[in-house]
Structure 1
């Protein structure tokens, strides 16, 4: 499947607004891949397909997780939308023909992160957060502040901003995100 074919298919799956975000993530991931010397094509495809499951209903996400053998913990049951990342990796594989494990892992981890993320995983996690179509003060400040920071520092700051936001909103926080944040603290 070509990139244009994938974009056409995505437009029917996720809608125009989400597609605009997705293209911003793709472009940001490409820029970050160049900066951190990561395979640009892997970053392109992971960024492009990271949200391919975003518009799937919560009930269907839970069903698909069971079908695909994805372990569902209590937090996924309470917040099924978090499943869009691992479900998205399966859809990228099954419907877009992606068989590269690095791309699939980056898609799977782009929301919660993981303490053992690769550089590509971190790039997609960060690109999803800072892509130019997202506009809020915290994200704008982070975009500016990370220009002179390491990738790990930038990912930690993005993770901390997300954790703070979820705490302020009274939302459940998945321990995987806390583990990611803690793994990035310099000792």
Structure 2
């Protein structure tokens, strides 16, 4: 079952108040892709819709404020996130959803918390939100079409290839890589080999 339209409109109003137009369009693309992936691979449509709509709600907070909020919310700030506070937007969004909107479902909160890094033992919803964020129709980077095609065939294969693509991009651009991302990739790789 999809999200109640009244609640969806409230979430849309919230993201429109906190995000620029381009990021709102991206969010709507993630919602559309997440719904498609849930129809393909199963799962809870309402949970996917909530996570997709709110995954970037903390994206436009200034970097210094992200660090301050992370301390207030008792979010662990790893060395990579301290260097690039933009990476805190997932954990901050999850905490804001919990505090401001009363969302307590751990699967929804984890899907938002780990949508940029992934983690070991990801749930189906976490995989769907990570992948939807990466391949939504507004994304345009070399290899995105191949990832979209893989997403039609196998969720875990597409996710593994998407993570590999992100890791290569970070390494090629001499950007730091969060340990969670490496652990997520290794976990998926190990499970695919079994």
Task: Specify every segment of 5 or more residues in structure 1 that has no aligned partner in the other structure, as ranges.
Answer: none
Q: CA deviation at 1:38?
A: 0.3
**Superposition TM-score, scaled by structure 1 size:** 0.95
Alignment pair present for 1:19 and 2:30: no
Output the CA distance in 1 between the equivalents of 2:150 and 2:102.
Answer: 37
Alignment partner, residue 186 of structure 2: 182
Q: Select the residue among 21, 26, 40 that pairs with 2:45.
A: 40
Alignment partner, residue 157 of structure 1: 161
For each residue in 1:55-98, what CA deviation from the matched residue of structure 2 results, as whole angstroms up to 9, or x when unmatched? 01111111111111111111111111110000010111222332
Output the CA distance in 2 between the equivalents of 1:161 and 1:172.
Answer: 15
**Superposition TM-score, scaled by structure 2 size:** 0.92
Output the CA distance in 2 between the equivalents of 1:145 and 1:34.
Answer: 16
Are the equivalent residues in 2 in contact too, given 1:6–1:96 (CA < 8 A)?
no
Task: Specify every segment of 5 or more residues in structure 2 that has no aligned partner in the other structure, as ranges.
Answer: 1-5
Q: Select the residue among 76, 85, 90 that pairs with 1:80.
A: 85
Alignment pair present for 1:63 and 2:50: no
Output the CA distance in 2 between the equivalents of 1:164 and 1:23.
Answer: 27
Q: CA deviation at 1:15?
A: 1.4
Alignment partner, residue 107 of structure 2: 102
Q: Provide the aligned length of Structure 1 versus Structure 2.
A: 186
Alignment partner, residue 3 of structure 2: none
Structure 1 window deviating more from structure 2 (95-104 vs 23-32): it is 95-104
Cα RMSD (Å): 1.2
Q: CA deviation at 1:137?
A: 2.1
Q: CA deviation at 1:12?
A: 1.3
